[in-house]
Structure 1
Amino acid sequence: MKNSKSSLQDTDDASELGLLGEVACTNTALRRAARRLGNLYDEALAPVSLKATQIAMLAQISRFPGADGHAGPTLQELAGRLAIQMSAISHAMKPLVRDSIVELQQDALDKRTKHCVLTPKGEQLLADALVLWTAANERVEKVLGPSSAALLRQLADQIASDEFLTEFNHPTAE
């Protein structure tokens, strides 16, 4: 037989769980949507054996030179552009380097710094993948409708912004 203190705790826990069921969780909804979209893009990119996250990395490497004029961004710059931690970039980069898609070149001035550069194989894979990605992106745009797709991107960019992070961490008085 449970003591009365334990029964009260069970009742409080159940009440809290009931309350959580009534609260709209933006994080859960966004993660669920991101997983669905990620899976759709990954399926579209299967013919080139790359994931959408890898294509995003390759596109960022291709699109942006390093801040100091080098051929490609540093790992730190790449992490900042993709809004992910350095450990995640390092982990994600391993198969791309292993498969000779990306080359990490040591900085001439700071030997600890590495720049990401696409190899010729990486450039070709990115070109092939962008054809597949474009088709998937057009299907998403068609299903959502252009205005909803634009709003979704706008909100996602807002959430990923430094301004959002600053406001979240240091809310202004209302």
Structure 2
Amino acid sequence: MGITSTPVDAKSTGNKPSLQEQDILGGRVCTNTALRLAARRLGQLYDEALAPLDLKATQLALMAEIHKLMGPDQQGPTLQDLASRLAIQLSALTHALRPLVRDGMVELRLDAKDRRTKHGVLTPRGKARLSKAVAYWAAANDRVEAVLGPVSAANLRALADQVSSDAFLAAYRQEDRAPCTD
């Protein structure tokens, strides 16, 4: 059972935009706000699913990315590489890692060649928690997919991938954005 939605255009439906919609945005809709609200809602659902393991969805994503980037040397990714892969600032990454380090799931190790560089490594406890968490995450993910429907879910992921791509960022930055004149 998938939920379908159709973009609503006030002009085509004959409905006037509400007073809130006629505010400072001048009748425009905000893609950023819509995506942030959707991301927060999904985040809440995944957080609820992972709550029995005392994990947040963001923490699971960090642990999964560390696991994915672990090399054969078991050194783990540098924090700079990890932040880059997750498209977040290094300071935000270190803040997000604190509870995982505190709870013994991630260890930060100094680089053997450059002591200024740190690597994130899953501990045995972290690997065990990640393994358990994947089952909880999968159940939540399957429910989201079922509610959205496979086509809508695939479209949502494709659009999210497009927006998060380097190509999108480059295209956005190349657009001629002349300053507004009043």
Task: Normalising by structure 2, report the TM-score.
Answer: 0.81
* Structure 1 spans left out of the alignment, 5+ residues: 1-13
- Which of 37, 45, 52 matches 1:47? 52
Counterparts of 1:104 and 1:18, CA distance in 2: 48
What is the CA distance between 1:64 and its match in structure 2? 1.1
Secondary structure of the 1:20 match is: coil
* RMSD over aligned Cα atoms: 2.2
Counterparts of 1:69 and 1:82, CA distance in 2: 22
Q: Flag as ranges the 4+ runs of structure 1 deviating above 4 A.
A: none
Residue 97 (structure 2) pairs with residue 87 (structure 1): no
* Structure 2 spans left out of the alignment, 5+ residues: 1-18, 178-182
Larger relative CO (CA 8 A, sep 6+): 1 or 2?
Answer: 2
Do 1:70 and 1:115's aligned partners in 2 also have CA atoms closer than 8 Å?
Answer: no
- Which of 136, 143, 167 matches 1:139? 143
- Which of 28, 37, 41 matches 2:42? 37
Per-residue CA shift, 1:62-99, capped at 9, x if unaligned? Answer: 01136x96521110111111111111001111111111
Show the 5 A alignment for 1:1-174: 18=23, 20=25, 22-65=27-70, 71-171=75-175
Secondary structure of the 1:117 match is: strand
Per-residue CA shift, 1:119-167, capped at 9, x if unaligned? Answer: 0100011011100000000000000111111111111111111111111
Change (3 A) 1:28 1:42: same
Task: Normalising by structure 1, report the TM-score.
Answer: 0.84
Change (3 A) 1:139 1:95: same
Aligned residue in 1 for 2:4: none
Do 2:111 and 2:119's aligned partners in 1 also have CA atoms closer than 8 Å?
Answer: yes
Greater share of helix: 1
Identity %: 60
Which is greater in Rg? Answer: 1
Per-residue CA shift, 1:30-72, capped at 9, x if unaligned? Answer: 0000000000000000000010000000000001136x96521
Equivalent pairs counted in the alignment come to 158
